Chains A and B, each alone.
Chain A
Amino acid sequence: MNDQPNKNSKSKLKLILLLVFIVFAVLLLILNRTGKKDKNKQQPAPLVVIPTPIILTEGSLSIQTISTKVTTENTKDIEIIASSNQKSIVAYDIVITHERGALEVLSVESLLPDFKVYPLEKNNHFIITGVKEPESKSNSVFENLPIVKLKILPKKSKNLTLNLVSSLGKEKSQMVDEESKILRPELTYFKLNIN
């Protein structure tokens, strides 16, 4: 007689146990699915980041005259000398200012065989952009190297000052290397005695 109630309570206990385990299993399943859903939200796709140019204060640009003699046409030949602190350069901008009307630039010539120059003359300044040919694979490290020759015609019979400037409006004197790093070089001015 006493065994009957015990058997009943055991059965009930087993039922409760089973129910609880089922609920536990369901909860674990839900938890697991929530975790997988979070992972699935992360779709692999690269994002575009526009890099900020790296600017280095390195290198130098200067002007020197090739000869002190005045030519028969009264023109002067001057050179731009560059140093790039061991960096191989693929392009450069040179901004030179002068007194308005003080000179005329007759020609601009690249002294480097694999660089092309693109001059642009304005009223009181001119800009020379030099670009290395895409197919050239040579190393272009400048070490006190003449890179550009200019033939100028002084228009005034007094001293002419040419200033290499770091910036003029949006224009900047700079060199750019193979890794697209920008070099802002040390600059000098140049005084030319006409007489």
Chain B
Amino acid sequence: MPNRLLINSRKTAIIIVVLVTLLAGSIFLLRQGRRSKATPGVPTLFYSTEPGSLQSGQNFDLVLKINPNGATLYAFELYTIYDPQKVDFQNTTILAQNISSQFILINSTVDTANNIISITGAKTGSAFPSSSNTEIARVKMKVKSGVLGDVGFSWGGNTKVGSNLNKELLDGLFTISEVTIQPTSTPGQPAGPDLHLDIPTLPRVGGSGIAQRGANVDVQVFLKTNNIPVKAVDFILPYDDSMLTFQNTADLVANIELDPNSGFNTQFVIKKVDVVAKKIIFALVVPVVNQQPVPVSSPNDILLGIIKFKVRTDAPDGQVSLLPDTTSTIYDLQTQNILTCTGGIRFNVGVLTATDTPIPTSPPFITDTPWPTFPPPPTNTPFIILPTSVPTITNPPVGVAMALDFKFRFQGILAKPNRLNSIPVKITVKSSAASANTIKSVSANVTVDASGIWSGQAYFPSLLEAPDYIILVKGPMHLQKRICENSPSETEPAKYSCISGNIQLLAGTNLLDFNQINLIAGDLPQQDGVANAYDVALTRNNLGSTDPAILAIADVNFDGIVDTQDYSLVIEALAIRTDDEL
């Protein structure tokens, strides 16, 4: 009897072990099926953010990346689902302008009804690097104020790459932290060594620092050693390039002015402006005497240098936070990192109004108004020339937001075409009166109505009001057209031409009716600004084709087939030949 019992209990034990193994195996297999792996030949799509850590109320770039994992692909059709409760776009007026890419984009739109960002395009020339993480596009977004926790971005179900290859989609989940900006430390207060910032010339309104668009912002960088001997400093400062640029754009490193009296060696210095990672970096070491470092130490703040920023003229209203990266280092004589904290500074971008009282009073801006001219003094008669009047000091004109609502026609399209109802066009504006340098371009989507008139809106966040604008319009298969009037007209296609601009653009919405002239077809993808033998050959060699890939480059009237109509339109363009320029 006892033997039977023993046998039974052994059987039971074995059976239970087998069953548990089966269960565990099932759970393991289930997890394997859902775990992401980089399979060779299967591209992976994923997200990252810049900066890497998100903070409440802060701007960031959502970066869409791909690793082909050995697959060959050129084209992409990406759909990103975002959470509007937690994030918004930096440009809230024209959402599509938040999307940028180094590749050709056929479509870039934001569907706020379904919270989907759509980006379609292709890499030209060679395929995506087969085993590298490559940025496809980025979207300028911001974390809403007061939002904490996690924010997720997920791939839409219709996301495709290449010729509809199998792919792996990795959704993004990022943690939002609260902005922690430490106050500038006061000498004598017990605290560890730190790196902190100050902008003493920043006007303050209502207790908040405020900087105008186009204003210089000199950021002072201080080291506090707390009387501990320091032998080296690595300083890293991330910056928001949608708000800030540099005073010297020709030589970015020149915007890092190091203080020669800081005690650090002025010969062995590393300075870098990383425009990709959007970081300022400099590294300092102390001088060496008799093979011994001469450390820097002080109870007071030591000015290391000044970073010469400038608020972008097209910066949106908002807050700028500058906070040294916590990966910065302060090394003591034992090469130990003794950095305890970093101190940043925050200010707003906006316009000082007449009722604002800047504290301290900012020095007024000086215009280009010339001093009065004086007759030259007689020779050999020395005397002192004094001005007879004080020149007027005024503020320079400020750009305003403008929307251009325009309508036009494409040559050869007299009704709503079969294949395409919405396409991107490039709009360029230039005014001589406003400024010799006011040349700005944007891409705008246009849609067609039943009578073949295409309409759309181009948004410029900051343009100077002026009465003499010239506008250039270029379609995806068309030669660029220069337009100088609000409502130009022509008796025959391609006959309209002009030289001097007469378009007045004011703040707000400007209505431009160009539908009495035709944009001439003929500069086919890949566009080179001229209608030539290659463009003619594309249509001639593909007559009769309905292949989508061919239609994208040779279906000039968007009717879904490459035929003699397209061929004739390109032939006509040979007489016009090249883009109108400014």
Interface residues of A (CB under 8 A from B): 2, 6, 9, 13, 16-17, 20, 23-24, 27-28, 30-31, 34-35, 41-53, 90-93, 118, 120, 127, 129-132, 134, 169-172, 174-180, 182
Contact = CB atoms under 8 A, between A and B. Distances in A.
A53 B160 contact: no
Q: Which 8 A-B pairs have the closest CB atoms?
A: A91-B533, A176-B537, A47-B75, A27-B26, A170-B530, A91-B537, A20-B19, A93-B533
A34 B157 CA distance: 14
Nearest to A122: B577
B162 A179 contact: no
B553 A53 contact: no
A52 B534 CA distance: 12
Contact of B534 (A42, A45, A91, A178): A91
B574 A120 contact: yes
Interface string B57-76: 00000000000000000111
Interface string B3-34: 01000100010011001001100110110011
Contacts of A132: 540
A20 B23 contact: yes
A2 B33 CA distance: 48
A6 B7 CA distance: 12
A129 B26 contact: no
B174 to A, nearest CB: 23
B541 A24 contact: no
Contacts of B578: 169-171
A89 to B, nearest CB: 9
Given A92-B533, A93-B533, 5 more contacts: A42-B160, A47-B76, A118-B575, A129-B533, A130-B533
Contacts of A41: 157
A48 B27 CA distance: 41
B571 interface: yes
B22 A91 contact: no
A52 B19 contact: no
Contacts of B528: 170
Contacts of B161: 47
Nearest to B166: A42
A36 to B, nearest CB: 11
A49 B74 contact: yes
B146 to A, nearest CB: 35
Interface string B519-543: 0000001101110111011101111
A134 B543 contact: yes
B506 interface: no
A174 B27 CA distance: 65
Contacts of B4: 6
B33 A31 contact: yes
23 contacts: A9-B8, A13-B12, A13-B15, A16-B16, A27-B30, A41-B157, A43-B157, A46-B163, A47-B77, A48-B75, A49-B549, A51-B549, A52-B526, A90-B541, A92-B533, A131-B540, A132-B540, A171-B530, A172-B532, A174-B532, A174-B533, A174-B534, A176-B533
A31 B30 contact: yes
Nearest to B564: A134
Contact of A49 (B1, B122, B542): B122
